[in-house]
Amino acid sequence: MCFGADGVSTFKGIRFGVITLMRTKQAPHLIGIHCMPHRMNLAMQSLFTMPMISKLENFLQMLYGYFFTSPKRHLEFTKLVKIVETKGLKVIQNVKTRWISTL
């Protein structure tokens, strides 16, 4: 059996974590893993402490604001996307609470 958690001590604590208590009382073969999407989110957060990545994030935020505050510019962006034949049809706003929206 496997138990995925976000890595907080409540779940993964050595003495009183949920995984430890379940191993001692219910499932001795339980495997505790750190939730992969949450681990990826933590890795992305650590990247944004780097100045170059932070500047890139700011640039993408400005790009989003430029194209999506004006319907005319948004239409021009959509036309450009079709000409270039890319997969996406819009720039997605980076929201800190949305896991990995930066990707």
* String of DSSP letters for 72-98: HHHHHHHHHHHHHT-S-SSPPPP-TTS
Note whether residue 6 is domain-resident.
no
pLDDT at position 74 over 80: yes
Q: Which two tokens stand for residue 4?
A: 């995925």
Domain hosting residue 71, numbered range: 51-103
Note whether residue 35 is domain-resident.
no
Note whether residue 94 is domain-resident.
yes
Note whether residue 97 is domain-resident.
yes
Q: Which one, of 15, 19, 23, 16, lies nearest residue 4 by Cα? A: 19
pTM over 0.75: no
Note whether residue 62 is domain-resident.
yes
Note whether residue 4 is domain-resident.
no
Q: State how many domains the chain has.
A: 1
Note whether residue 28 is domain-resident.
no
- Cα separation, 92 vs 23, in Å, equals 42
pLDDT at position 73 over 60: yes
pLDDT at position 9 over 80: no
Note whether residue 34 is domain-resident.
no
Whose tokens are 């990707």? That residue is 103
Q: Which residues contact 41 (CB under 8 A, 6 or more apart)?
A: 99, 100
Q: pLDDT band for position 97 (50/70/90)?
A: low
At 42-64, the pLDDT tens digits run 887 788 789 998 898 888 888 88
